[in-house]
Amino acid sequence: MLLSTLSLFATFATTFAGAVRGRGAAAITPGSLQQVSNWGTNPTKTGFYIYVPKKLATNPGIVVAIHYCTGSAQAYYNGSPYKTLSEQYGFVVIYPSSPHSGTCWDVSSKSSLSHNGGGDSNAIANMVQWTIKEYSADTSKVFVTGSSSGAMMTNVMAAAYPDLFKAGIAYSGVPAGCFVSQSGGVDAWNSSCANGQVKNSPAKWAQVVLDMYPNYNGTRPKMQIYHGSSDSTLLPNNYQETTKQWAGVFGYNYDKPESTKSNSPQNSYTTTVWGPMVSGIYAQGVGHTVPIRGADDMKFFGFAT
């Protein structure tokens, strides 16, 4: 009698604990942008917004879509194609929201530029972990993208959390670690990087990436870098420096790309492929930032063929 009461209680306790654990996802209504709260360790109080499609795939993929300075999760949700694409392909979209005044991302402090360092990048990585768990997501389909400051953070996420992401697409950013603040400033602006004056060899840029997660020896995300030739906010040399960085990480010869194609994927854009893991698209005459190419992103991430 006592035994069966105990076991009944144990069953109840397990069910109840399961319900509490799962309440995060259960509380989220598919088909609209929702804020997630109490989701886990959030070292920088970064906002966590999510879009779960009405037609959620079984073991869905995840796309982290990171906004620009002065932007927000809501603004990027409205201004980017990912919610529509999420309905088409069934993946979950995470829209982090910057906690800093002016809403740039911290891509300058040591904590954000280190794996599990406790910065904004760590907060975003924890959102991804939460989403993987709550939605039984397919860890081979976890991707990151963003524009401007969000593109800087895309490069940082790919560098500091290569274990989480399979691919990244950066729209008009700078290399990972280029915005570093020598004095350790959080969310600092780095003029020499923005102005395209920081120039390194592929090997040196690659080392900046490797140093963010020392001793990591697993796979790294495939990268695609967009930049406009008329960008006056993050000067165009950041295109060369960022593509050098990822070519360096994968050991590709930067000076001998595999292919260069003019007027691809559209008139006056040039696509350069350094190897299977690194490509770049230089948009002649385009300023800050290059418009998102959602259908192409879906191909790059492997959702579309």
| Active-site residue list | 148
Q: Which helix (H) or strand (E) holds 44?
A: none
Choose the binding region for ligand NAG from 19-27, 32-40, 76-84, 174-182 (rule: CB under 6 A).
174-182
Least spacing, CB of residue 197 vs ligand NAG, in Å: 9
Residue 140 DSSP label: G
Query: Length of the chain in residues, anyone?
Result: 305
Q: Which helix (H) or strand (E) holds 97?
A: strand 92-97
Residue 210 DSSP label: H
Residue 180 binding ligand NAG, by CB under 6 A: yes
Please give the residues from 35 up to 64 whose contact with ligand NAG meets the rule CB under 6 A. Answer: none
Choose the binding region for ligand NAG from 16-24, 62-70, 76-84, 192-200 (rule: CB under 6 A).
192-200
Residue 83: count of CB within 10 angstroms of its CB: 18
Pick one of 36, 132, 164, 178: the residue that binds ligand NAG (CB under 6 A): 178
- Cα separation, 116 vs 122, in Å, equals 5
Interaction pattern, residues 95-124, with ligand NAG; x per rule: CB under 6 A: ------------------------------
Sign of CA dihedral 70, 145, 157, 189: negative
Q: Tokens for 139?
A: 């860890």
Residue 223 DSSP label: E
Choose the binding region for ligand NAG from 8-16, 20-28, 187-195, 246-254 (rule: CB under 6 A).
187-195
Residue 29 binding ligand NAG, by CB under 6 A: no
Binding site for ligand NAG (CB under 6 A): 178, 180-182, 190, 192-193, 198, 215, 217
